[in-house]
Amino acid sequence: MTSRSATTDRRTATLTGVQPTGDLHLGNYAGAIRPLARLAAEEHRAVYVFVADLHALNSRPAPAALSERTRRLAAALLACGLERPNVHVYRQSRVPAIARLAALLRNVTAKGLLNRAHAYKAAVAANAEAGRDRDHGVNVGLYDYPVLMAADILALGADEVPVGADQAQHLEIAVDLARQFARAYRTGALREPRALITDGVGTLPGLDGRKMSKSYDNTIGLLADAEVTAGRIRRIVTDSTAPDRPKDPDACPLVALLRAFADPATVEEVETRYREGGIGYGEVKALLAEVIEQHAAPLRRRHEQLLADPAALEERLSRGERHARERADQVLARAMTAVGL
Enumerate binding residues for ligand TRP (CB under 6 A): 15-17, 19, 52, 55, 149, 152-153, 161, 163, 167, 170
Binding to ligand ADP (CB under 6 A) within 10-29 occurs at: 19, 21, 27-28
Choosing among ligand ADP, ligand TRP, none, which partner's interface includes residue 149 (Cβ < 5 to 8 Å by kind)? Answer: ligand TRP
Evaluated on CA atoms 264, 269, 272, 277, the torsion sign reads negative
Closest CB 214 distance from ligand ADP, rounded Å: 4
Binding ligand ADP (rule: CB under 6 A), the pick from 6, 32, 154, 279 is 32
Size of site (CB under 6 A) for ligand ADP: 17
- Per DSSP, the three-state class of 56 is helix
Q: Rounded distance, CA 90 to CA 323, Å?
A: 9
Looking at the chain, list the stretches that DSSP marks H as alpha helix, in order from N- to C-terminal side: 26-28, 34-40, 53-56, 63-77, 96-105, 111-115, 118-129, 140-143, 145-155, 168-184, 226-234, 253-261, 264-276, 281-308, 310-339
Choosing among ligand TRP, ligand ADP, none, which partner's interface includes residue 212 (Cβ < 5 to 8 Å by kind)? Answer: ligand ADP
Taking CB under 6 A as the binding criterion, the range among 68-76, 196-204, 245-253, 278-286 that sits at the site for ligand ADP is 196-204
- Per DSSP, the three-state class of 68 is helix
User: For residue 118, which amino acid is it?
Assistant: H
Q: Rounded distance, CA 255 to CA 245, Å?
A: 16
Closest CB 255 distance from ligand ADP, rounded Å: 15
Q: Is 118 in the site for ligand ADP (CB under 6 A)?
A: no
Interhelix angle 281-308/253-261, nearest 10 degrees? 50
Choosing among ligand TRP, ligand ADP, none, which partner's interface includes residue 215 (Cβ < 5 to 8 Å by kind)? Answer: ligand ADP
Nearest to 236 by CA among 207, 216, 209, 274: 207
Binding to ligand ADP (CB under 6 A) within 163-182 occurs at: 163-164
Report CA 111 to chain centroid distance, whole Å: 27
Cβ proximity to ligand TRP, 152 vs 271, nearer residue: 152
Closest CB 21 distance from ligand ADP, rounded Å: 6
- Which spans of this chain sit near ligand ADP (rule: CB under 6 A)? 19, 21, 27-28, 30-32, 163-164, 202-204, 211-215
